[in-house]
Amino acid sequence: MKRYSAILFDLDGTLLPYDDMHGFLQTYFSLLYTKGPEFGYEEEVFHQAFSEGMRAMRFNDGAETNQKRFWDAFTAFTGRDNSREIEARLAEYYTGPEYRRLKALTGENPLVGEVMAAARQVTDRIVIATNPVYPLCALTERMHWVGLSENDVDYVSCYENSHFCKPTREYYDEMFAAVGADPSRGIMIGNDLREDIGALKTGAELFIVDSWLLDRGEDVNQYLHGDTRAMIDYILRP
């Protein structure tokens, strides 16, 4: 079998199934914005401030973490610096029952254990390479929904430890560097061609899992693709 320096897995729609990713995000953000009045903001102001923060992360030039970019933009928009209070309270939300109820909008992945076992046969470094616009606590909670923990992987990209976002090459360079891996001997496995294609610029392979493909109109037939079983078979090929 081929050995990989690292395997990067997207989380949402790759390991954690969604029949309607857009519906999940709409529900998630709608619920999040209702938290605004708890911090003295009207919902619409809280919404706009979050949008400014998300935009700042997506265009991060690498000088600061995504976390700092987000809260600097949020504070600049609102004119109030209560980011530490908000961040602490949101951490409670992400680890509490209200956020956990969103699991009902996701599906089961009976192959996730087999995926991890197969990956461990061909690499010593497994990365959850989701777009790092969320805090670690939100991501590890979603990992739990599909039966994974931080101990199952070697690195999780999140807004605290990342300085770029998908689909930039810099994001993928940072992910491989974080685990000391040569990108030219690595592979990115995701379900969103537009976001995951940046891995190819590093020299890594790309496999698109189409079981829960995020279809943006691109032709995935130009790239390695298949369902979860096909992905397992590919990484274990002789």
Say what the pLDDT of residue 215 is: 84
N-to-C CA span, the chain: 4
Q: CB under 8 Å to 66, separation ≥6 — which residues? A: 57, 60, 132, 133, 159, 160, 162, 163, 164, 165
**Spans in the chain with pLDDT lower than 50:** none
Say what the pLDDT of residue 50 is: 96
Q: Where are the domains of the chain?
A: 6-20+105-235, 22-103
Say what the pLDDT of residue 20 is: 87
Say what the pLDDT of residue 102 is: 95
In this structure, which CATH number among 3.40.50.620, 3.40.50.1000, 3.40.50.300, 1.20.1260.10 belongs to the domain 6-20+105-235?
Answer: 3.40.50.1000
Do residues 228 and 109 make contact, with C-beta atoms less than 8 angstroms apart?
Answer: yes
pTM for this prediction: 0.96
- Taking the C-alpha atoms of residue 206 and residue 37, their distance in angstroms, rounded to an integer, is 43
